[in-house]
Amino acid sequence: MELKDAVVLVTGANRGIGAEFVRLLKERGAGKIYAAARDESSIQADGVEPIRLDITDRGQIEAAARRAGDVQVLINNAGISTGTSLIGGDEEAVRREMDTNFYGALLLTRAFAPVLKANGGGAILNVVSALSWFTLPGAGAYAASKAAAWSLTDNARLELAPQGTHVVGVYMGLVDTDMSKGLEAPKVPVADLAGAGLDAIESGAQEVLADDWAKFVKSGLTLDPQQRYEKIFAALSGS
């Protein structure tokens, strides 16, 4: 679909990837942009309609769907990373990641699916991660939540196809945002990542592998676990 004149809602729109989606949507001539964040006063972009939206709050999600009944594109970008171990880490932190990275996107998709249908089908873009396809000690909660988001993305694509809704999953390694600050590794510029996602909406592509790391990790999914993780750890160590 064309993004020119389209009505788009972006979650986590106050910074990082979300703010870049907003900037690029304006460049591409989007007709209206609902910029959503837990604190709507943190939205700095001009020419957008700020929405207070905590994606872990069902009531706020339902209110957003009522208010933004003209939305044609939903961008599920908001997410968190607590650096919590899945086995030995704090259970509440694990739940926070799952509530945000999986349930938040799920509840938004459920709330806006009828809106998109009423407005001609439209599109949903989910910002996922290459960590949906592997895990690391200390990143277990994040990886589990993103694996669930990967499954959600595939399922939504199948379930919403009859109403004409195009579903895009975006997968990447590290992105040059506050979340990856201090990590010494190649990082995808936010403009490249957001631009590739918007290109997929316009071209009809279903999946974006935004960097070499995402391509590398996905290419190993057919290997048995020992071989797969030997390759991943070797690549991470530079050997």
Choosing from 34, 103, 142, 171, the catalytic residue is 142
> For this structure, is 142 an active site residue?
yes
- Classified as helix, coil or strand, 220 is coil
Residues 6 or more apart in contact with residue 7 via CB below 8 angstroms: 30, 31, 32, 33, 34, 68, 70, 71, 72, 73, 119
Complete DSSP assignment for 32-61: EEEEEESSGGG---SS-EEEE--TT-HHHH
The two three-digit tokens of residue 55, written as one number? 């994606």
- The three-point CA angle 156-158-164 to 5° equals 85
Task: Tell me the CA distances in angstroms from 21 to 2, 170, 177, 190, 192, one per residue in order.
Answer: 15, 13, 13, 9, 10
Query: Using CA atoms, how far apart are residues 57 and 78, in angstroms rounded to an integer?
Result: 13
Q: Residue 204's CB: how many other CB atoms inside 10 A?
A: 10
Evaluate whether 138 touches 87 at the Cβ level (below 8 Å). Answer: no
The two three-digit tokens of residue 181, written as one number? 């600050």
Residues belonging to the active site: 142
